[in-house]
Structure formats: structure tokens, C-alpha cells
Structure 1
């Protein structure tokens, strides 16, 4: 009777180990969800990037076609942010790590 060499589960498991980050990134790429996730990240990081005072005066915030739409309750704040639009855009994209937002529209 011939005996088979015992299968070593340690070696095969190590070959199959993939870091969780790489697995999630591959899944997002496969399902084409990375862009949507980045948009959600931009909206979620609005208060962190702009500060609590601006976040309190923000009524609505959404992304459509790489444009961030921001509805504010304060006209003076809206005017100030329109003047600093390029800085707002750069700060938001820097927070995400990619150029997700191409334009910011203040409503």
C-alpha cells in the first residue's frame, strides 16, 4: 500500500493569502464601483474639509457627472465659496486622493 505525502495546509494557504485591501480594490474594480465610492467619500468628507461652520450652513450636497452640487442657506457664505471655488475643488480632491470632482456648483 502506497502512502501519499501528507498535504501541508500551511503552504497552500500562504500562497492563497491576499491582503484585504487588494481584495477590496479588485472587487471594486470588477464591479465598477470605485467611482461611486469616491463620490460618496467626497460628500462624506465635506465637513472635514470645509469645517463645521460651513457644514452647518450646507442644506444639500450631491455629486452628478463629476460635479459637486452644494446648496447653502447663507448668501454671503455662497459668495465667499464661489470666490474660492478652485481651492475648494483642490481640497476635496486632495482628501479623496484622486481628481473625482471636476466642478463645484453652489446653489
Structure 2
């Protein structure tokens, strides 16, 4: 009759103690190289249509960051006026999408 073998090798068990989830490892790497701000900026630009909707995304010509401000060039003057009036709501929607206070001001061009 065969008996199951149990691993009594201590080096294998100590390696298991050093194992970390990939998510935690990547987050530590992002923090170490101070990439979180840039990652948030890329997330905002890439999810602009999801945040603001397709109609606004179609009228958006350009979107970029400078010194913590989000600059958005809108091709429609009436839409631009509406967005300027709802600037605080736009900021709240963007920051909610990212999960942190990524931007403090939005400038509509």
C-alpha cells in the first residue's frame, strides 16, 4: 500500500510565505516609481467617453493634462457653455471614476 508523501522541506514552505498577490506587487511597483499620478491621467483620458457619454465624447477634439488641470477642447460652443456651468459636477464624476482626487480643475477650451 502506498502512503501519501508529505513535504517536510522547510525551504518550500518558506517560499510560500514570500508569495504576494500580483495586484499588491504591481501597486508597490507603481508607488515605488511614483507613477500613480500619471496612471490616473491616462485612466481619465481613456475613459472620457464612459465618464461623460458618447455625445460629449464626439464633440471633444482634444483632452490633456498640465500641472494637475484637465484641459478639454470642445467643438460645440453651446455644449462648452453647459459644461462650464456644470464644472464641479464634471470634476466629481471624473474623480469618482478614478477613485481619488486626481484633478482639481477642468478648463474647457
Give me the TM-score of the superposition, normalised by structure 2. 0.89
Task: After superposition, give the CA deviation of every residue in 1:22-48 in whole Å (9 maximum; x if it has no partner).
Answer: 101100111111111011111111100
Q: In the alignment, which residue of structure 1 is the partner of 2:20?
A: 18
Extract unaligned runs of 5+ from structure 2: 1-7
Partner of 2:32: 30
Q: Which residue of 2 aligns with 1:45?
A: 47
Of residues 66, 89, 98, the one that matches 1:96 is: 98
User: 2:59 aligns to what?
Assistant: 57
Q: TM-score, normalization: structure 1?
A: 0.90
Paired with 2:65 and 2:95, the residues of 1 have a C-alpha distance of 13
Q: Which stretches of structure 1, 4 residues or more, deviate above 4 A after TM superposition?
A: none
* Equivalent pairs, count: 102
Q: Tell me, which stretches of 5 or more residues in structure 1 are unaligned?
A: 1-5
